[in-house]
Amino acid sequence: MSDASRIDISGVTKLYGPVKAVNNVDLVIEGGSYCCMIGPSGCGKTTLLRMIAGHEAPSSGRIAIGGQDVTHSRTGSRGTALMFQNYALFPHLSLTDNVAFSLRVKGEATEPRRAKAREMLDRVQLSHLADRLPSELSGGQQQRVALARALITNPKVLLLDEPLSALDEFLRLRMRVELKRLQNELGITFIHVTHTQPEAIALADQVVVMDHGLIEQAASPREIYNHPHSPYVARFMGGQNVLAGKVESISGDAATVTTADGHRHDLPSAPGVTPGAEIRFSVRRDRIHILPEAPARNGLTGKVINTEYQGTFVKVALDTGTREEFIIYMPDEAWFARPISVGETIHATWEPAASHHLKGTNNSAGTPLED
């Protein structure tokens, strides 16, 4: 099964007039894995998904599913099923007939196809509503119908276009669990487009971070989170502070960096950098401690501009004189032992191991645009 649902994308470009929606993308998605494509609106993630589904043809490049070139084969014959963002349920058909639609176009007789559809509806716990019309369902129910309609074709690859974005927070978390369970059960490849970071981190075996038609980084969630490729990925995925400085000296792979305000930082691993180079690095927000005095290295000083209690930790935002806020996630115990008030000047420090050199050059802010 797993090789039959592997996806190879090589050199795929999609032009809309002069605009490169997807720009020479190479990507391998292992069969049977859960892949999340993430990026701000207009980054090309949905276009890439629609090209895999066959709703758009690439301007150049090649897409193969299970080793078979499907670049120009017909939608609906390449073993993919797409779940639409707005679900696109047929408003004039009952749930049973919605789910049975693909069997109908294959010429299957009415009774057997309805029986199969009811079975599939049972699987998504909606058999009691089998004769309703889509307009009579809640958003969550509509989504499960869309899922049943996609799965009845026995696809090798299920493509989900922002499947959870229309649901409220509570349902979103529940459906997230449901999707993961379903993927484990079916063992087919899921490709899920989202612009919500926790969703991607929670679901994916492989996270693909995109920006401006390019893949910035494709790796496991842990790798993306701990070793972001570029300042953009670090900022977009969150949980990191991005700092900039000039390389002062190197020894082996390790480097010493000086920031504009004179603080010195140790980077344990920054292969390929040269003294004098301007580089950026990230620091995990939850690996930072507060000190009573300014540290000699690997730290900084800033004025508290905001504190936010988050339940298990407290988010402290510092103004360090750069345009970017420096954020510290403090354990709630530490914070309540010595509360910090807005306006106070504090000193922060971290182990060199919490610093990570950002090799990529994409320095955009990475705030996801609202749809």
15 lies in the site for other proteins, by CB under 8 A: no
Q: Among residues 19 and 365, whose Cβ is nearest to other proteins?
A: 19
Dihedral through CA 86, CA 88, CA 89, CA 92, nearest 10? 120
Q: Among residues 123 and 212, whose Cβ is nearest to other proteins?
A: 123
Region of 39 on the Ramachandran plot (φ > 0 left; ψ -120 to 50 alpha; else beta): left
CA 286 to chain centre: 21
Angle, helix 110-123 to helix 139-151, in steps of 10 degrees: 130
- x/- track of binding to other proteins for residues 82-111 (CB under 8 A): x-x-x-xxxxx-x------xx-xxx-----
81 lies in the site for other proteins, by CB under 8 A: yes
How crowded is residue 10: how many other Cβ atoms within 10 Å of its Cβ? 14
Q: Considering CB under 8 A, how many residues would be counted as binding other proteins?
A: 29
Rounded to whole angstroms, the Cα distance separating 213 from 307 reads 36
76 lies in the site for other proteins, by CB under 8 A: yes
Shortest spacing between CB 20 and other proteins, in angstroms: 21
Q: Going by C-beta distance under 8 Å and a sequence separation of 6 or more, which residues neighbour residue 325?
A: 305, 317, 318, 319
Burial call 337-348: b when 16+ CB within 10 Å, e when fewer: eeebeeeeebbb
Binder to other proteins among 133, 173, 304, 346 (CB under 8 A)?
A: 133
| Residue 22 contacts residue 14 (beta carbons within 8 Å) | yes
Q: Among residues 123 and 289, whose Cβ is nearest to other proteins?
A: 123
77 lies in the site for other proteins, by CB under 8 A: yes
Binder to other proteins among 8, 42, 55, 196 (CB under 8 A)?
A: 55
176 lies in the site for other proteins, by CB under 8 A: no
69: phi then psi, degrees, rounded to nearest 5: -70, 115
- Give the H or E element holding residue 182: helix 169-186
Q: Among residues 94 and 282, whose Cβ is nearest to other proteins?
A: 94
Q: Among residues 129 and 237, whose Cβ is nearest to other proteins?
A: 129
185: phi then psi, degrees, rounded to nearest 5: -70, -45
122 lies in the site for other proteins, by CB under 8 A: no
Q: Among residues 92 and 222, whose Cβ is nearest to other proteins?
A: 92
- x/- track of binding to other proteins for residues 56-75 (CB under 8 A): -------------------x
167 lies in the site for other proteins, by CB under 8 A: no
Shortest spacing between CB 368 and other proteins, in angstroms: 23
How is the beta sheet containing 313-319 ordered, strand by strand?
288-291, 345-350, 299-309, 313-319, 326-331
130 lies in the site for other proteins, by CB under 8 A: yes
Question: Scanning residues 136 to 165, which ones bind other proteins (CB under 8 A)?
Answer: 136, 149-150, 153
| Residue 305 contacts residue 325 (beta carbons within 8 Å) | yes
Shortest spacing between CB 195 and other proteins, in angstroms: 19
Q: Which two tokens stand for residue 202?
A: 């929670």
131 lies in the site for other proteins, by CB under 8 A: yes
The site for other proteins (CB under 8 A) is made up of 53, 55, 75-77, 80-82, 84, 86, 88-92, 94, 101-102, 104-106, 130-133, 136, 149-150, 153
